[in-house]
Amino acid sequence: MSTTAVIMMAISMLTVWGGLIAGIVNLARHPEEDGHEPAPPVEL
Amino acid sequence: MSSATNHTARREGFGSRNVFILSAIGSAVGLGNIWRFPYVAYEGGGGAFLIPYLCALLTAGIPLLFFDYAIGHRYRGSAPLAFRRMHRAAEPLGWWQVLICVVIAVYYAVIIAWSAMYTWFSAQLTWGKGNENDFFFGDFLQMGDVGADGVSTQFVPQVGIPLIAVWLIVIVIMCLGVQRGIGASNMVLMPLLTVMFVVLVVQSLFLPGAIDGLNAFFTPDWEALADPAVWAAAYGHIFFSLSVAFGIMVTYSSYLKRKTDLTGSGLVVAFANSSFEILAGIGVFAALGFMAAAQGSDVAGVATSGIGLAFIAFPTIVSNAAGGSIIGVLFFGALVFAGITSLISILEVIVAALQDKLGWSRIATTLVVSVPLTIISLALFSTTTALAVLDTADAFVNAFGIMAVAFVSVIVVSWVLHKLPALQEHLNRRSSFAVGTIWKLLVGVLSPIVLGYLLLSEILGKLNEPYGGYPDWFIAIFGWGMVIVLIAGGVVLSLLPWSKRSHAKDDPEYDAYLADEGYEPDVETGLQGVREEGASR
């Protein structure tokens, strides 16, 4: 693989997969507050 | 309190935010991520495509995803109900989206059926080495000519029987409901799909020639960035890939609990979808690199997308690679799982809309929706002319269904109803990622410009030459006629009255939610509540 291809591959992986990890970390820091909300009904 | 038993059944919902997120990812990750993205990226400048792609993701994909989430979560209804609650006159937009999902569902199912058969064929290399093309069109599809013979009614059992099986499986999932059906199947299938795909990618990387494939995929062609068509392709791809603007995300977000971090969840869904695409690009181009090496050609000569990639190129790779059967089973199995999780989200748009409108139970509504869809799907796509109908319906419903309804929705919501500030306020109530004026500009100004440009170029392209070389009458029925019927049908369905049992007229939960959140009471459900209170006094 050419150097530029390797660099672009690394940047693609870092930005997109890094974005996913950052998103998950952000969400984990803001846990769901569903204390007094009733559970939705389950049919059947 | 006499009304307690007379009230319409409560709406279902996802048990937790994580179930919603996995289901939304399951919907967004579909066949397009696997068979469309790699080629779009390769054609659009390889490694350089990352720039328009990320721009499109950040400036259109994610803002529109937030827009859908805000509508579904604020108005807590299926697409028609959510738009009706926003403004009575906006309801046709919701039904238009529902009808788009009807069209997509009937043909999407058959691709899953093909993939399921190819999972089985891969294990035994049924097609015979060197015969992949003829096997697909001849032996498997028994493809006829619509130009010569018209739309065929000749049943092809090797397609029709798995198609029935696919419908039975999704009907069972839909009958089980939002949490136990849709949520539970995504909780199982999405991790499984990820593991399968990672194994597939790792195995592809060890094939001889794989590195050449990756080289072709990631080598940047910077000049492509000067081509507006490449930017249009990036926006078009992001737009289809994230499943925005045709009711799915509105429906799913209406099943979220009231106090949910909408934007934080949306960012995870959007980046997970793109992460899967990058993974698919690596896997597909590694495999294409091997195919090029095996055939003594270059990657440019074998690169392709869609049905050609899945059902001709991949079988060729499976025939030639050491351990090819494993690659085939993983690849086609991934298509089946990615397809099923997307198909159930498409069906849920229809089921939820009718459930809201009629106030019927889950199972009754599911059967009323899916049995006719199964029959239409079998009638059109288990015959020898399936591919022509599928190809035309897909091209037209994408361009003049999804893209058109998105264009009209963002304009109506932003510029006619002026609802963006209210949606922004709703998003920011509990979200970890605040949206501001930039979000309103991206949704209200940039998105309509980009969508309008894409729509116009599609209209010009399809008017200039008959799509796919099919006969005029065929394009008139399954192309233009179909997309016009979707719009007319949307208007007609909005004119039908909502029953008193429907959620539009009777939804105590929605009334309580509006009161809790300090929103104005709903003009329809609110009045009903007041009336009943008066009567019981």
Q: What is the pLDDT along chain A (44 residues), one digit of tens a residue?
A: 899 999 999 999 999 999 999 999 999 999 887 655 666 666 55
List of chain A residues whose C-beta atoms are within 8 Å of the C-beta of residue B9: 41, 43
pLDDT at B527: 64
Nearest CB to A2; choose among B10, B219, B361: B219
Token pair listed for B306: 């869609």
Interface test mutation site (partner A, options B173, B278, B282, B348, max chain A beta carbons within 10 A): B278
Closest residue in B to A26 (Cα) is B264
- Looking at CA atoms only, how far is residue B44 from chain A in angstroms? 14
CA B124 to chain centre: 31
Residues from chain B that touch A28, judged by Cβ atoms under 8 A, are: none
CB atoms within 10 A of CB B312: 17
Residue B264 to residue A30, Cβ atoms within 8 A: yes
Q: Are B289 and B216 in contact (CB under 8 A)?
A: yes
Residue among B21, B261, B362 whose CB faces A44 most closely: B362
CB distance B90 to B83 below 8 Å:
yes
Q: What's the CA gap between B34 and B394, in Å, rounded?
A: 17
Any idea what DSSP says for residue B127? T
For residue B204, give the amino acid letter.
S
Which chain B residue's Cα is nearest to A36?
A: B259
| pLDDT value of position B4 | 40
Q: What's the token pair of residue B185?
A: 């199947």
Q: Which of B220, B257, B272 sits opposite A37 (nearest CB)?
A: B257
How many C-beta atoms surround the C-beta of residue B474 within 10 A?
21
Query: Do the chains contact at A43 and B177, CB–CB below 8 Å?
Result: yes
pLDDT along chain B (537 residues), means of 10: 51 93 97 95 95 96 98 97 97 98 97 98 95 96 89 94 98 97 97 97 96 96 95 93 94 94 97 97 97 95 95 96 95 97 98 93 96 97 95 94 96 98 96 96 97 94 90 95 97 94 91 94 75 48
Q: Which two tokens stand for residue B29?
A: 């990750």
Amino acid at B324: G
pTM exceeds 0.90 for this model: yes
* Closest by CA position to B365, among listed B513, B501, B187: B501
If DSSP codes are grouped into helix, strand and coil, which group holds residue B333?
helix
Distance set, CA B398 to CA B101, B105, B208, B275, B406 (Å): 11, 13, 37, 23, 11
Distance CA B64, CA B266 (A): 10
Distances (CA, A) of B64 to A18, A35, B43, B278, B294: 21, 30, 25, 21, 43
Nearest residue of chain A to residue B268 (CA atoms): A23
Tokens, residue B522: 């709903």
Q: Which two tokens stand for residue B203?
A: 């195995």
pLDDT of B465 reads 87
Please give the Cα distance from B230 to A25 (Å, whole number): 33
Give the distance from residue B175's alpha carbon to the nearest chain A alpha carbon, in angstroms.
8
Supply the Cα-derived Rg of chain A in whole angstroms.
20
| Cβ-defined contact of A16 to B275 (cutoff 8 Å) | yes
The span from the CA of B396 to the CA of B403, in Å, is 10
Q: Please enumerate residues of A whose Cβ is less than 8 A from a Cβ of B.
A: 1-2, 4-9, 11-13, 15-17, 19-20, 22-24, 26-27, 29-30, 32-34, 37, 39-44
Under an 8 A CB cutoff, do B275 and A26 touch? no
Q: Which residue of B has its CA nearest to A3?
A: B219
Write the residue in B220, B361, B430 that is nearest to A43 by C-beta.
B361
Closest-CA residue to B170 (of B114, B121, B111, B105): B105
* Residue B259 main-chain phi, psi, to 5 deg: -100, 85
- pLDDT score of B11: 87
- pLDDT attached to residue A37: 66
Of B177, B219, B260, the CB nearest to A5: B219
In sequence order, what are the beta bridge partners of B383? Answer: B155
Alpha-carbon distance of B482 to B392, in angstroms, equals 10
Task: Pull the structure tokens for residue B383.
Answer: 């015959």
Kindly state the DSSP code that residue B383 receives in the 8-state scheme.
B
Report helix angle B184-205 to B210-218, nearest 10: 110
